[in-house]
């Protein structure tokens, strides 16, 4: 795999993780009204979702790049 693509993958993974973590935390605090919610309680689920989203986005871009050629 190209090193530039690998760096882009990890940057996208980190950005997805931050966005998903904040959305999960906000949902649990404001919508579900769970008082015992901490940021560490949503990190594992957020990490799994971020990895799945990043992989799907990467596959979509590869498929899109091949169809553009």
DSSP string covering the chain: --HHHHHHHHHHHHHHHHHHHHHHHHIIIIIS--TT--GGGSHHHHHHHHHHHHHHHHHHHHHHHHHH-
- pTM exceeding the 0.95 threshold for the entire prediction: no
- Return the percentage of the chain with pLDDT > 70, whole number: 96
What average pLDDT does range 17-45 have in this prediction? 85
In a domain, 2, yes or no: no
* CA angle, 16 then 22 then 5, to 5°: 10
Give percent of the chain with pLDDT exceeding 90. Answer: 36
Residue 48 lies in a domain: yes
Query: Is 61 part of a structural domain of the chain?
Result: yes
pLDDT at position 69:
61
More confident position, 33 or 21:
21
What is the mean pLDDT of the segment spanning 2-27?
A: 90
Domain that holds residue 18: 9-68
């Amino acid at each position: 795999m190209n090193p530039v693509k690998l760096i882009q993958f990890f940057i996208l993974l980190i950005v997805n993780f931050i966005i998903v973590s904040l959305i999960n935390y906000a949902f649990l605090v404001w919508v579900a009204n769970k008082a015992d919610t901490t940021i560490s309680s949503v990190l594992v689920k957020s990490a799994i979702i971020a990895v799945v989203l990043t992989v799907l986005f990467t596959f979509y871009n590869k498929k899109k790049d091949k169809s553009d050629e």
